[in-house]
Structure 1
């Protein structure tokens, strides 16, 4: 279990009532932002302190890993947001009967604030630049003590309860259905093109045939029987243009379980074939799927085109924040 702090002044009512966190992937100028990037390392069961209008008003328990999803429509009254893709984490929020004002407790909290990526100023005021940031365990314990029995019962209750079911990333499903409907309704496409693009979503059809001219077996398991393999997009189907959806160099042949790990960002590949394991991947599940997290395999080099698409995957799909590696 990890602890996090989220500043929700403008989005509190939408996110808490809707049961999610959402952030852009980058700043408006496309620069990396650690307080958005940290979303990639939230895991089910993590505790999030919700700060809004100078108060810690709610405690949330993460119900999913982060996943790509469009900006929620309710953030503004007008316009569609299918093109504004960010990170979403499904949540179970509990609004507190007795919220606290951190600025009134800085004698306790100040010595516990981290030197990098702190959630508060030394005065106890919020930081406008912060969306989500990591909370050290000592600071989390102090916050829980200040919040009292309600917070103790909530956090302890989740610790001792049986493992909660993980949410099904509903925002991701809705986005893919939107993209599928757009393809099916595109009058500029020939029927054969439309069918090929739709089949490519499931790693089949023309896309799979093109991938099989480059790849010949699952990179992880070595399975080489076509009926047991799926052509998995490096740049996901949901992110890609129609041309990219059918580009053989945007694909790997993977067994279904490995395809799931790759598509959801629990594993990725370096250009030399080294498998990268996300720090939030479930190690026991990886073992059962044939991946040793402590010594992931190296699977061989990729073509120039594949490396370009794999770079996109590492940057936009892999659940790993380079900023947390520096802490």
Structure 2
């Protein structure tokens, strides 16, 4: 991983279009700027050529440019670029489902016609064409918020789903479909109970709900502000503390989707790009390289590859392209073990001790994972990635 990747990741996480960073702040992110950064303005140039300015290539790939640098006062100002990566990391949308919400949950999508039967369209339909990978969608049905989703693929032309045929007499035959990874809430949230907080943040035009809290069924998909989206997530966690993990899952899914989108739009060779994309889900050359080093799940002992997941130790979203395909950055794990490891509920020490977070001990015990205290030592390269996992991903102390 490039030492400058943390700077690019820091910029990518910003929601504002401009950010001022002190050199000391950048020092902490990249483990020290080189002397040339403090002595020469040219170090901060937004290079797009095949040169050695890899740091600039990284912040450009993240959608940012260095706007100005004040070496005397040791301050650099970065501004979001004006290309397709210039938008904030994600937007929030609110979808008003009717009777089709269960079908859209199970199918992993939202769908709307391009027009009504009379040829008229509306903003709620057109908004499907504006939803981008990584955007968050608040799902409202029957007076409550039941699920939160992450857009995993932008809109495509799609005929009306069979499950929507009852409404076909009101709609045109063709429509748009957006793929969504839905995450159901254990305890649904009723917006009417929080109108004093929600109402002031509703959009003036094309609001998803009315001021009295009733749904606005004339709008299928509505754009809502970051403030309202963040408020909904906070309220969800207050109503149901267990939903915190659901929100974390949403953030992870959104970041993974954004990283894949950036990768797909990059200029690296197509064959390498496909291998990197496949490595995200533990497939392709990454899986082969992991299997050359790891012969079984270290916790369950299962050695049949058909039942094992090639799991990144340092998450795919946090790795550079070399690390994403590195066999030492992976373990073969049984699916339930992969889930615990991927989300930081368990980890391993360098010498193979199993580390289990307090929140996951009952689950690990129910799955029969508590009896194994040591899974065997790891090689030096694996230890480097495990150190990252313990420090950045593991939820234990």
TM (norm. structure 2) is: 0.40
Greater RCO between the two (CA within 8 Å, min separation 6)? Answer: 1
TM (norm. structure 1) is: 0.48
Say which one has the larger Rg: 2
